[in-house]
A and B are shown apart, each in its own frame.
Chain A
C-alpha cells in the first residue's frame, strides 16, 4: 500500500507477525499481545536472537503467527522448557508465553521454581481469569463470585480459595528481577504493556534474573460478552483485585543504593 501524496505511514502491521489470520476470537488480547511482541522484535532487531516457548491453551499455536524460533511445551511446563532453552543457549533472548490455567494451575510448580532459581528468561503471562480454550472453566485467577462453566453460581472462595495474584507472588522470590502487571484496555495501557515487555527483555539481556509480565487480559467468548464489555469488566472487576503496577524492579534498588 502506498501512501497518498504528502502522507507517510506511521503505524502498520509488523513484518515479524506472519501474514496469517490468527485464530483468536474477535477482540481477544492474546492477539494484541502477539502484535505488540512482534512489533518489539522488529523494532529491537532481535528476530534471530529470540526464542519463545508456547503453552497449551488458546495460544498453543502462537508459533503459527510469531515469525521467530519457538518451541511447544506440554501443558504447564513452559517454564521448565524455557529454563532448558536459556541454559543451553544463554545468548538467546528467551520467553515463555502462558495463560493462567497453564502458568498458575497445572504449571504452578514449574513457575515458582523457575522464579526461585532466578532463571534468566521472561514470562509473558496472559491472565484472563478463565480456561479459554477448553470452554471457560474456573481458573485459579477467577474472581470471587465470577461465573464460569464450572462455577455456575460464582466462585465460592470458602470452597475453592482466593484468586492467585501471580505478579505479586513472584515478586517475593529472590531470583526475580522484575515483575509488573499491565493491561491493554486502552491506547495508553497498551503502550505501557509494550514498554513493560521491552523493559523485561532488556533486563534479561543484562542477565539480571527472571522477568515476569502479567497482562490483565480478556476472554470475550468465555466471559460471554462483547469485546467492549470485556474491557469494562477488566476495568471494573479485575483491576481492583489485580492492580496494575510494578511489584519488583531490581534496577530501581540499584539506583537507590547508588544515590
Chain B
C-alpha cells in the first residue's frame, strides 16, 4: 500500500504562488480562491487529502517555507 501523508499550510505565510499546486504529483492541493489571508492573498489548501503520499515536492518548491509535510511512520 502506498505511504500516506498530509500537509499543513501556514495560510498567513502562503503567498498563493501556486507552485506547490503545480508540482504536487497527486493533485492534493489547490488555491482557495474563495478566501484570502490578511495580506489579501489566496492561499493553498488540501482538497484531496486521501491522495497525499508525503513526497515533499510541495514543501521543496514552496518559496516561503509555508508547508509542513507529515508522513505515516512505517
Contact = CB atoms under 8 A, between A and B. Distances in A.
B61 A190 contact: yes
A22 interface: yes
A7 B68 contact: no
B15 A11 contact: no
Contacts of A13: 10, 65-66, 68
A127 to B, nearest CB: 16
A168 to B, nearest CB: 27
Interface string B14-36: 01111100110000000000000
Contacts of A26: 15-17, 41, 63
B67 A186 contact: no
B16 to A, nearest CB: 6
A8 B63 CA distance: 22
A110 to B, nearest CB: 28
Given A27-B18, A227-B19, A6 B73 contact: yes
Nearest to B64: A31
B63 A11 contact: no
A206 interface: no
Contacts of B63: 22, 24, 26-32, 35
A186 B61 contact: yes
Nearest to B10: A13
Contacts of B62: 32, 35
A259 interface: no
Given A26-B17, A31-B64, A231 B22 contact: yes
B69 to A, nearest CB: 4
A25 B63 CA distance: 10
Interface in A1-52: 1, 3-4, 6-14, 17, 21-22, 24-32, 35
Contacts of A6: 72-73
A187 interface: yes
Contacts of B64: 21-22, 31, 35
Contacts of A25: 15
A103 B10 CA distance: 34
A184 interface: yes
Contact of A21 (B8, B13, B54, B68): B13
> Which 5 residue pairs spanning A and B have beta carbons closest together?
A27-B17, A31-B63, A26-B15, A11-B59, A13-B65
Interface of B: 4-6, 8, 10, 12-13, 15-19, 22-23, 39, 41, 54, 56-57, 59-73
Given A32-B62, A186-B23, 17 more contacts: A6-B72, A7-B4, A8-B70, A8-B73, A10-B54, A11-B60, A11-B68, A12-B59, A12-B68, A13-B65, A14-B65, A21-B12, A21-B39, A24-B63, A26-B15, A32-B61, A228-B19
